[in-house]
Amino acid sequence: MRDNPRLQFTDAERADPELEKPIRKADKAADRADRAAAKIPKKTVKKKERVVDPGTGKVTTRLKFEETVKKKPPSKLAHAVRDAPGNTVLAAAHREIGKDEDDNVGVQSAHKLEETAETGGRMAQSAYRSHKLKPYRKAAIAEHRLEKANVNALYHKSLSENPQLVSNPLSRLRQKQAIKKQYAAAKRAGQTAGTAGKTAGNTAKAAKTAAQKGGQATGFLWRHKKGSLIVIALFLIVCLLLNSLSSCSVLLQGGLSGLAGSTYPAKDSDMLGVEDAYSEMEADLQYELDHYESLHSGYDEYHYDLDEIKHDPYVLVSILTAYHQGEWTLDEVQGTLAMLFEKQYILTERVEVETRYRTETDTWTDEEGNSHTDTYEVPYDYYICYVTLENFDLSHVPVYIMSEEQLSLYAVYMSTLGNRPDLFAGHPNAAGREDYLDYDVPPEALEDETFAAMLAEAEKYLGFPYVWGGSSPSTSFDCSGFVSWVINHSGWDVGRLGAQGLCDICTPVSAANARPGDLVFFKGTYDTPGVSHCGIYVGNSMMIHCGSPISYANINSSYWQSHFYTFGRLP
């Protein structure tokens, strides 16, 4: 079914900044065409295969089953042509009946009922044919888009290989038209275009020819300068006007597309419903803890170590939207809610049995009638129940259950709060949309080229949301993922390290000797052993770090000073 090839490019071509975007678009278009082709209905056909035994010369016929693409059903137009004679006769019959129906109410009613039934039948047939044709339509659209993407990639490749061809707008237009013709001719001739090199070579030749023709056209314009200048001036004015209108349209479409892509698609009733359902599950858990000794009786002593029960409703809705990759309903996500609840709240019970002793007294009378009292220690089992509730934090769950694509969606929704800051307004645990703190690093600090490179990379991501486990721009970052990314793109190669791991590879530095480019580490920012947070020191008591969102911060604030651990210098 595939009419257009997947172009192949060398690593050098993919690394070329001028070719990166058109190549990426061609690859994506090929992926979509592959997926669309895979959805076309298939059928299994039987084929006979003759096999000759080389030893005996005996011929054996085997039955072989092969999967082939089903033939495309006739289009609506073909059905219309096929049914035209019958429809003509039917229409004539209706007209004849219509002449006499005014005088007979029964005939009129029956005729209307018949017409309604026929209309319903035609609609049902049309819907059925449309459903059967849908995968073929999608495949055709994908093929058309792939052809456009391939031509565009080859056009940019020919310009990259032959920069002298980029002479003026007229010659560029001719070049692209020549490439389209060459591509279409290659497709008609059945060329596979296994590599982009051969096809691009042909298109380059066509582009050179187009450039020569462009030169001839330029000569003609030079000989008719005055008239040409007037025509060109009018042409440029029209182009500027059309370009302005087109730019406004593109900007508007881009803005609307970005807004739609970062907005929660679910209905308010469903989003508020999942928040109520999750809160009800939390209320049930709290009830169990409050009445644990009556619900789980039989122990002599109870000890509790309980985290607070709470969650951010925006985190919940963002997870559901990213996980289901689009609109969902309350009924559809009941299973997901249960899964999230089990991952967020871990309730454990540990029972210890101690051997303890109690004093018992035994009074008895001897044969002479004397009374005696004996005291002794009796061992018994003493049961101690240790109850622990860990709130893993709902925002830590996505990295464990989502693909990179889903995690990217989650980061987008959290950065915008689904463009619904009003949805959970007033909720005590709802995250607010916070702006990042900007800061101008003193110019003298940027004289260090290594630090300047670190800062340039780090500042690209100001305002990115905090995503637990995130370690790239596509998924956003957590604190150690952010620092790891920055230093790995500034001359080091340390891999993806946690906050403690980053601290371990650094040499401790005193506050007096700390300089821009050193790392700064903190402890106790959340319940974890060792270093819990890190950032990049930029001087003057300021750091850039992945908080919520990525921002600058003053490490002399009371909060950061209460958790400060050390500065560290990278190797």
46 and 61 in contact (C-beta within 8 Å)? no
User: Is the same domain home to 402 and 450?
Assistant: no
Give the separation between CA 435 and CA 445, rounded to whole angstroms. Answer: 25
Residues 6+ apart with CB under 8 A from 483: 502, 519, 534, 535, 536, 545, 546
User: Residue 512 is part of a domain; what is its CATH number?
Assistant: 3.90.1720.10
| C-alpha of 457 from chain center | 23
Same domain, 414 and 544: no
**H-helix or E-strand spanning residue 534:** strand 531-539
Give me the residue label for tokens 């908080």: 547
Q: How far apart are CA 431 and CA 416, in angstroms?
A: 11
Domain limits at 518?
443-569
Domain presence at residue 236: no
In a domain, residue 223? The reply is: no
| Angle, helices 449-459/479-488, rounded to nearest 10 degrees | 130
Whether residue 305 is found in the same domain as residue 376? yes
Are residues 7 and 68 located together in one domain of the fold? yes
CA angle 414, 420, 422 (to 5 degrees): 120
Place of tokens 């678009």: 25
Q: Is the dihedral of CA 74, 76, 78, 80 positive or negative?
A: positive
DSSP line for 315-349:
HHHHHHHHHTTS---TGGGHHHHHHHHHHHEEEEE
Last residue of a domain, one of 105, 140, 163: 163
Which of 563, 536, 526 has its CA nearest to residue 395?
A: 526
User: Within a domain: residue 262?
Assistant: no
Distance CA(87)–CA(121), nearest Å, equals 13
Task: Please work out, in degrees rounded to the nearest 5, the angle formed at the alpha carbon of residue 467 by the alpha carbons of 463 and 472.
Answer: 75
pLDDT at residue 358, rounded to an integer? 92
400 and 452, same domain (yes or no): no
Cα–Cα distance between 413 and 421 in angstroms, integer? 11
pLDDT computed for residue 125 by the predictor? 55
pLDDT score at 160: 75
Q: Please give, one letter per residue, the 3-state secondary structure of 8-70.
A: CCCHHHHHCHHHHHHHHHHHHHHHHHHHHHHCCCEEEEEEEEEEECCCCCCEEEEEEEEEEEC
Are 419 and 373 spatial neighbours (Cβ–Cβ below 8 Å)? no
Residue finishing a domain among 130, 163, 196: 163
How far apart CA 321 and CA 327 sit, in angstroms, is: 7
Q: Which residues contact 466 (CB under 8 A, 6 or more apart)?
A: 395, 476, 477, 478, 479, 546, 547, 548, 549, 550
Give the domain-ending residue among 419, 454, 473.
419
Q: Please count the CA atoms within 13 angstroms of the CA of 29 that sit on its side-chain side.
A: 26
Nearest to 386 by CA among 349, 355, 353: 349
Measured between alpha carbons, how far is 320 from 21 in angstroms, rounded to an integer? 32
- CB-CB neighbours of 553 under 10 Å: 19
Q: Give the DSSP letter of residue 289.
A: H
The answer to whether residue 282 is domain-embedded is yes
472 falls within a domain: yes
Is 179 part of any domain? no
CA contacts within 13 A on the Cβ side of 165: 26
> Looking at the structure, do residues 396 and 473 belong to the same domain, yes or no?
no
For residue 230, CA distances in Å to 202, 227, 257 come to: 37, 5, 40
Tell me the whole-structure pTM to 2 decimals.
Answer: 0.52
Q: Does 407 share its domain with 451?
A: no
Please give the order of strands across the beta sheet that includes 564-569. Answer: 507-509, 564-569, 519-523, 531-539, 542-546, 550-554
Statement to judge: residues 357 and 491 lie in one domain: no
Instruction: State the Cα–Cα distance between residues 258 and 298, nearest whole angstrom.
Output: 59
Q: What share of the chain is helix, strand, coil (3-state, %, to 5)?
A: 55, 20, 25
> What CA dihedral angle connects 159, 164, 165 and 169, to 10 degrees?
100
User: Cβ atoms within 10 A of the Cβ of 173, count?
Assistant: 12
Q: Are residues 5 and 141 located together in one domain of the fold?
A: yes
Instruction: Classify residue 303: in a domain, yes or no.
Output: yes
How many Å from the N-terminal Cα to the C-terminal Cα in the chain? Answer: 56
Q: Within this chain, do residues 564 and 494 fall inside the same structural domain, yes or no? A: yes
State the total domains in the chain. Answer: 3
Q: Could you give the CA distance from residue 501 to residue 509 in angstroms, rounded to a whole number?
A: 16
Tell me, yes or no, whether 480 and 388 share the same domain. no
Neighbours of 312 (CB within 10 A): 17
The pLDDT value given to residue 171: 52
Establish whether the linkage from the previous residue to 549 is cis, with ω within 30° of 0: yes
CB–CB of 288/389 below 8 Å? no
Per-residue confidence (pLDDT) for residue 157, from 0 to 100: 80
Q: pLDDT tens string for the chain (571 positions)?
A: 556 778 888 888 888 888 888 888 888 888 888 888 888 787 766 666 777 777 776 767 666 666 676 676 665 444 444 555 555 555 555 566 555 555 555 555 555 555 545 544 554 455 555 566 777 777 778 777 888 788 788 877 877 777 655 544 445 555 666 776 777 777 666 544 444 444 445 544 544 554 455 455 455 445 555 555 555 666 666 556 555 544 444 433 444 445 567 899 999 999 999 999 999 999 999 999 999 999 999 999 999 999 999 999 999 999 999 999 889 999 999 999 999 999 999 999 999 999 999 999 989 888 888 898 989 999 999 999 999 999 999 999 999 999 988 998 999 898 889 999 899 988 888 877 677 888 999 989 899 999 999 999 999 999 898 999 999 998 899 999 999 999 999 999 999 999 999 999 999 999 999 999 999 999 999 888 999 999 999 999 999 999 988 999 999 999 999 999 999 999 9
- Asked if residue 386 belongs to a domain, the reply is yes
User: Within this chain, do residues 464 and 319 fall inside the same structural domain, yes or no?
Assistant: no
